[in-house]
Chain A
Amino acid sequence: MKMLTKPDRDLVRPTLDIIKIERRLFLKQSLSLGALTLLSGCDITNADSVKKVLWGMSHWNDRVQAFLFNPNKLAPIFPESAITKPFPFNAYYSENEVPHVDAALYKLKLGGRIQDKASWQLEQLYALPQTSQITRHVCVEGWSAIGKWSGVTFKTFLERVGADLTAKYVGFVCADDYYTSIDMPTALHPQTLLTFKFADEILPAKYGFPMKLRIPTKLGFKNPKHIMAIFVTNTYPGGYWEDQGYNWFSGL
């Protein structure tokens, strides 16, 4: 299970806009303590306590969102004509740093509370019942884009491998050192797809070859690309952005 430990942060060379200077600023001046002091007129001497409250509220919002999540509520579906072209590339690195996974050598690893942990080759995954859907991808930054993804319903896959569907979390480890995790109710949502195609073509590297978990009920960063391993667990696995302060549930 070495595969499933957190990737080494030092290997990560972030270049995306939202991470550039802002991340350093965040760590340094934490949460604009000066601004808060100015606002409330209070002398806030302990930045950590402010941070604690904000993280606590984020966890509270996780619970509220889990409560609001209706497993039968479907995300809006769009016609082909509504598809955004070109569909934006988005990651914590720039487009020329996209990982290139070798299709011939690729094996999807499974771990945790799964009965049949045998690895899956691409042909086996392609042979599963496939479905397509056109949905809106909403980025945490605010922009949105409509795309068409095709693949197997994730619930079907989880049932096929004998995953413990009563477990709390499904975690993902990706070829680009990205990692994230989702709640089981969202994993079992009828529109949550393990996708192999984008716009009817095999996923190009920039959109997550060999596979991307498409979750139209969650923000874009909760949709992992280049998935190398999937695990089911009751222990909170966190995520690349989530561990830095982005809300974990991030449901739409």
Chain B
Amino acid sequence: MANQPSSAALSGRKTAIHPLAVRITHWINAIAIIIMILSGWRIYDASPLFNFEFPGEITLGGWLAGALQWHFAAMWLLVLNGLFYVCYGIITGHFKSNFLPLTWQSLWREFKNALRGQISHELGVYNAVQRAAYIGVICMGAVLVLSGLAIWKPVQFQELTELMGGYEGARLVHFIAMALVVFFILVHLTLVALVPRTLWPMFSGRAAGGQEEAK
């Protein structure tokens, strides 16, 4: 299993860009996180932290109880899928080979390039900004789950809630982590729209036609 990506890479011109496990967990995660965000907005609206509400039409659940049912059902999908992905990423070396090395210098250089519109589009190889973004969003996922647990169980997991700055603090942490994940998703989707050939490999694992890997 540990050799899956490299053996696929050797199998011919059509190099595997995304291993099967990454593709499956990606799409399960996409469904789970969208359910969590849209139902979460409806839950937020029941007692807004800030001076605004999410329009009801873009939320999920219909009313508070419905939204809570969605939220506490999809959390299992999100957490189990996320745990599998993180274990897979660590055990197979997927994280190490795709997200590392990452230095502040390379991050700053690539970030400036990106602002100038000079982004490297090498399928299957992430630039420093992408690496930082993926590491960041995985960490935000962990923060979302932990702050969610702190809000859900402020008595049973009160040590965790305390760590999040108490019950009200945990609500704020949960909201901020959600906002950062939404920001990531918006940038992520914008970049896919700008470079559409990155989309197909997330389904098939391979670049369309295979010629695009030619370096």
Main secondary structure of the interface of B (DSSP, over half): helix
- The CA of A39 and the CA of B36, in the complex, are separated in Å by 12
User: From residue 126 to 180 of chain B, which have CB atoms closer than 8 A to chain A?
Assistant: 153-156, 158, 167-168, 171
User: From residue 30 to 70 of chain B, which have CB atoms closer than 8 A to chain A?
Assistant: 31, 34-35, 38, 43-44, 46-47, 49, 59-66, 68-70
- The CA of A182 and the CA of B32, in the complex, are separated in Å by 31
- The CA of A138 and the CA of B158, in the complex, are separated in Å by 13
Interface size of B in residues (CB-CB distance below 8 Å) = 31
- The CA of A175 and the CA of B39, in the complex, are separated in Å by 34
Interface size classification for chain A = 35 or more
A121 within 8 A of B: no
- A32 in complex: contacting residue of B46, B61, B68, B73, CB < 8 Å: B61
- The CA of A68 and the CA of B157, in the complex, are separated in Å by 9
User: From residue 162 to 208 of chain B, which have CB atoms closer than 8 A to chain A?
Assistant: 167-168, 171
Q: Given A39-B31, A252-B155, are A26 and B62 also a contact pair (CB < 8 Å)?
A: yes
Q: Given A68-B153, A136-B167, are A141 and B31 also a contact pair (CB < 8 Å)?
A: no
Decide: A25 and B62 in contact? CB cutoff 8 A: yes
User: From residue 49 to 83 of chain A, which have CB atoms closer than 8 A to chain B?
Assistant: 53-55, 57-58, 61, 68-70, 73-76
Decide: A144 and B73 in contact? CB cutoff 8 A: no
Q: Given A18-B46, A138-B154, are A246 and B76 also a contact pair (CB < 8 Å)?
A: no
Decide: B153 and A252 in contact? CB cutoff 8 A: yes
Decide: B155 and A217 in contact? CB cutoff 8 A: yes
Decide: A75 and B155 in contact? CB cutoff 8 A: yes
Contacts of A245 in B (CB 8 A): 65-66, 68-69
A251 within 8 A of B: yes
Decide: A241 and B65 in contact? CB cutoff 8 A: yes
- The CA of A127 and the CA of B62, in the complex, are separated in Å by 47
B108 within 8 A of A: no
Binding site for A on B (CB under 8 A): 31, 34-35, 38, 43-44, 46-47, 49, 59-66, 68-70, 72-73, 76, 153-156, 158, 167-168, 171
Binding site for B on A (CB under 8 A): 17-18, 22-23, 25-26, 29-32, 35-36, 39-40, 53-55, 57-58, 61, 68-70, 73-76, 136, 138-144, 216-217, 241, 244-247, 251-252
7 tightest A-B CB contacts, nearest first? A22-B63, A245-B65, A57-B73, A142-B47, A141-B46, A54-B69, A141-B47
10 pairs across A/B with beta carbons < 8 Å? A26-B66, A32-B59, A32-B60, A73-B156, A76-B158, A141-B47, A142-B43, A244-B65, A245-B66, A246-B68
